[in-house]
Amino acid sequence: MKGYQIFRFLLFLLFLFVMIAGVFVWKSYHASLLEKKIYQQSSAPPSAPLIERKLFSFPNHSLQVLEEEFTNLVSHIVPSVVSITSMDAPSCETVLRKFFGFTHDSTSSSNKMGSGIIVSKSGDIITNWHVIKDAIEVTVQLDDGRSLAAKLVGFDEQADIAILNIQADHLTPIAFGNSDLVKVGQKVVAVGNPFGLQETVTDGIISAKGRRALNEPSYEFFQTSALINPGNSGGPLVNIHGEVVGINNFIISRSGGAEGLGFAIPSNVVRRIYNDITQYGHVINPWFGVVLCALNKPLTKTSGAVITGVLLNSPAEKAGIKIGDVITDFNNYSIKDSLDLRRCVEQTKIGECVPLTIQRYGRILSLSITIEEEPSPNISH
């Protein structure tokens, strides 16, 4: 009986051993199959169809639509942008050196390059004045390859705007947008002729508004991150609706190239100058008739423009403005300094009567003034 129990125990151990061995063999077999499959997948060359299946299984229609809209926008803008080459007259020194035989260089004139925009079917083109200043010959090249001579219609040196005209058919003018509605952060596109490379397109945003140049505080500029290089001057800064909101004017750069600090003249300023030149032959400048200075901030907390002089028979004298008055509000716009007042006057129409708020010896007074045309306008043709 005892031997039978030992036999049963040994038989149980044998069965247990067989079961454990079977489980071990089964796991080893499946592990080897898995390892072989992983090895085959890792050692196989990259499968393009696998990548394509992943991409096309999740199509992003929004990105495709966005790309198509952007390329359509550029296609709309480019035919209205021109390249401008101006040939300057030779300097007196160059003429004398050539006359006396000190130089045999036949290229006695220098060329400047810039950009411009077509704004009418009759061939009017807007560009920067500095692009064609002192030029004896101006050539405009269109998007379709035509190269045409241009004549000067008029200019405003203060605003750095010039109007050219070409005689051509099948022109594509571009529309102006309202630059007063431009917001910081909105998307814009710059198109031009940098370094002679026609139809160069860059994009960016409006980085800031109200930037002022050191040489002319009356005008403000848009700052943009759209890359602008030499040759972009006079080209358009366009919103996503295909409207010109600015004319590219200058850059700030330590290297001489684009560093994302470009500046453009707001389109409302450009449109006003264009309308004045084409309708009246010169720019009509609004006239206020005062001499201004900045407030001494450490001595006063008041913001505004201080009147230090009033011209005879000027709109300011007729309105009752006196020396020492501080203008704090003009046409319902708060005036922080004299630059603010100049900008507001510049945007006022001739003959428009606007309200004023002034401080005079501690008293707050409300006046009204009718803006007139400047007696000695800057004749620009």
| Distance (Å, whole) CA 360 – CA 380 | 39
Q: What is the pLDDT of residue 381?
A: 40
- The 10 Å Cβ neighbour count of residue 34 is 10
Instruction: Note if the pTM is more than 0.85.
Output: no
| Distance (Å, whole) CA 223 – CA 51 | 42
Q: Locate 329 and state its tokens.
A: 């509000």
Q: Report the top-level CATH class of 286-373.
A: mainly beta
- The 10 Å Cβ neighbour count of residue 131 is 24
Residue 332 — φ and ψ, nearest 5°?
70, 20
pLDDT digits (tens, 9 = 90+) for 307-334: 999 999 999 999 999 999 999 999 999 9
DSSP state of 78: G
pLDDT digits (tens, 9 = 90+) for 14-48: 766 667 766 666 666 666 655 555 555 555 455 44
Known catalytic residues?
130, 160, 233
Fold match between domain 179-280 and domain 286-373: no
Q: What's the CATH number for 179-280?
A: 2.40.10.10
In order along its 381 residues, the chain shows pLDDT tens digits of 556 666 676 666 676 666 776 666 666 666 665 555 555 555 545 544 444 444 444 556 777 887 888 888 888 999 999 999 998 766 555 555 555 555 555 444 568 889 999 999 999 999 999 999 988 999 999 988 899 999 999 999 888 999 999 999 999 999 999 998 999 999 999 998 877 777 789 989 999 887 776 554 457 889 998 888 888 889 999 999 999 999 998 877 665 555 667 899 999 999 999 999 999 888 888 999 999 876 665 555 668 889 999 999 999 999 999 999 999 999 999 988 888 888 888 888 899 999 999 999 889 999 999 999 888 644 444
Can you identify the CATH homologous superfamily of domain 74-165?
Answer: Trypsin-like serine proteases (2.40.10.10)
Contacting residues for 293 by C-beta, under 8 A, at least 6 apart: 306, 308, 338
Q: What is the pLDDT of residue 353?
A: 94
3-state secondary structure of 19: helix
Decide the pairing of beta strands 286-287 and 236-238: unpaired
Dihedral sign of CA atoms 368, 311, 283, 279 in order:
positive
Single-letter amino acid code for the residue at 115: S
Residue ranges of domains in the chain: 74-165, 179-280, 286-373
